[in-house]
């Protein structure tokens, strides 16, 4: 009976002995690692507990120190930064009783509004945070990525937020447009092209692939103010029909962007050999149609997206139609007649 009463006491004693052994092992491990002292309160252990709560890695999480601690404080101050699990680009992984920091990429790229324009956001690689400016490096990088697949893998990343990607694309579009305007101010390509269009009897506009959309845009602007404007779409008007009756008073406006469709190059070469005038809108001075062009308009199509930028091309279409319409005879009369016909046809609400 006495032995039966003593069994719970012995079990409790063994549990206390085991707890004491675990505590002693923990004290020895903490003594070997050294005390974790918080920089603000100088209280041991507080910094380790905070790191464990942040990383969800348990109480043995390694505390952040120095520069990483400063990043964590800046991220807490700026609420618009969405960081992944961990402190400012640091994610922990379990390794025995301790955790080691491992670098990962954060969601944001670009420049933080509260930081200097030349300094990237906390936790961002400075190369990816650099702003895009029009210049030789930007054009060289744009020319090196020749296919949409290559541009997609280089420019679009999964860990980039929509806001940061929007800023990068808008910066690239602004840069390409500014670079194009700077080039157009330096030469007289647009006035020369407008003079050729005004002196021509028949005006053909063509493009293949995505360039067909730019040709349709210019055709829609010119057809309302200038006579005898024809869009070579391959259906109502084919290249064979155009090439079978080319006269010296005819002009062909061709849109040819990389990767330079073979049909467009062949059409421009044969039209030039037949005696017609050729206006080429392209993205490179040494494009395949540059040697046949009577007027060469070069635009910058650099972009931060997988597709080349259409912004500068649309601006060139707008400028060319404006210069041509400003000097075209009967442009005001045609616009007035179109307004009357639109009222009669009731095409708009």
Highest mean pLDDT among 105-109, 114-118, 317-321: 317-321
C-alpha to C-alpha distance for 240 and 334, rounded to whole angstroms: 30
Segment 156-185 shows an average pLDDT of: 88
pLDDT(183) > 80: yes
Per-residue model confidence (pLDDT) at position 4 = 65
Q: What's the CATH code, domain 185-345?
A: 3.40.50.10490
C-alpha to C-alpha distance for 296 and 287, rounded to whole angstroms: 10
Per-residue model confidence (pLDDT) at position 30 = 73
pLDDT(179) > 80: yes
* Angle at which helices 189-199 and 311-326 cross, to 10°: 50
- Per DSSP (E only), the strands in 81-139 are 90-95, 98-103
Task: Report the candidate in 94, 89, 92 with the shortest Cα–Cα distance to residue 104.
Answer: 89
Q: Which residue has the higher pLDDT, 115 or 46?
A: 46
Residue found by looking up tokens 């296919």 in the block: 147
| pTM for the model | 0.59
Highest mean pLDDT among 13-22, 90-99, 167-176: 167-176
Long-range contacts of 145-153 (CB under 8 A, 24+ apart): 146/258, 146/259, 147/259, 148/306, 148/307, 149/306, 151/303, 151/305, 151/306, 151/307, 152/306
The string over 93-125, giving b where at least 16 C-beta atoms fall within 10 Å of a residue's C-beta and e elsewhere, is: eeeeeebebeeebbbbbbbbeeeeeeebbbbbe
Q: pLDDT for 90-99, tens place per residue? A: 444 444 444 4
Strand 250-256 and strand 295-298: pairing?
A: unpaired
pLDDT(229) > 90: yes
Q: pLDDT for 255-310, tens place per residue? A: 999 889 999 999 999 999 999 999 999 999 999 999 999 999 999 998 888 889 99
Q: How far is CA 16 from CA 12, 20, 25, 130, 142, in A?
A: 6, 6, 14, 60, 70
Segment 162-170 shows an average pLDDT of: 89
Per-residue model confidence (pLDDT) at position 218 = 97
Q: Residue ranges of the domains in the chain? A: 49-131, 185-345
**Do 158 and 107 contact (CB within 8 A), yes or no?**
no
Per-residue model confidence (pLDDT) at position 27 = 79
Task: Report the candidate in 77, 80, 126, 84 with the shortest Cα–Cα distance to residue 101.
Answer: 84
Per-residue model confidence (pLDDT) at position 130 = 36
């Amino acid at each position: 009976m006495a032995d039966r009463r003593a069994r719970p006491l012995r079990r409790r004693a063994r549990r206390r002995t085991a707890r004491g052994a675990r505590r002693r092992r923990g004290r020895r491990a903490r003594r070997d690692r050294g005390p974790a002292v918080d920089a603000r309160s100088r209280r041991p252990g507080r910094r380790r507990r905070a790191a464990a709560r942040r990383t969800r890695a348990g109480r043995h999480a390694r505390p952040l120190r120095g520069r990483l601690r400063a990043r964590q404080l800046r991220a807490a101050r700026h609420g618009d930064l969405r960081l992944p699990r961990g402190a400012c680009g640091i994610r922990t992984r379990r390794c025995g009783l301790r955790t080691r920091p491992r670098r990962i990429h954060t969601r944001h790229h670009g420049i933080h509004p509260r930081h200097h324009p030349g300094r990237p956001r906390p936790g961002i690689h400075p190369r990816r945070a650099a702003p895009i400016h029009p210049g030789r490096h930007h054009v060289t990088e744009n020319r090196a990525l020749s296919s949409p697949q290559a541009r997609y893998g280089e420019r679009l990343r999964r860990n980039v937020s929509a806001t940061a990607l929007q800023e990068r694309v808008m910066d690239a579009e602004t840069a390409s447009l500014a670079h194009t305007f700077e080039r157009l101010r330096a030469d007289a390509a647009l006035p020369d092209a407008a003079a050729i269009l005004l002196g021509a009897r028949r005006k053909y506009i063509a493009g293949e692939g995505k360039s067909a959309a730019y040709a349709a845009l210019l055709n829609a602007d010119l057809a309302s103010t200038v006579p005898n404007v024809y869009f070579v779409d391959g259906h109502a008007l084919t290249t064979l029909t155009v090439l079978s009756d080319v006269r010296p008073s005819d002009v062909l406006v061709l849109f040819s962007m990389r990767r330079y469709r073979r049909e467009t190059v062949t059409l421009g070469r044969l039209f030039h050999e037949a005696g017609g005038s050729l206006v080429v809108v392209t993205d490179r001075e040494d494009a395949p149609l540059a040697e046949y062009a009577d007027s060469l308009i070069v635009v910058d199509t650099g972009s931060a997206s997988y597709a080349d930028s259409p912004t500068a091309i649309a601006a060139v279409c707008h400028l060319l139609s404006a210069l041509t319409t400003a000097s075209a005879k009967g442009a005001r009369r045609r616009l007035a007649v179109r307004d009357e016909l639109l009222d009669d046809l009731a095409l708009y609400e």
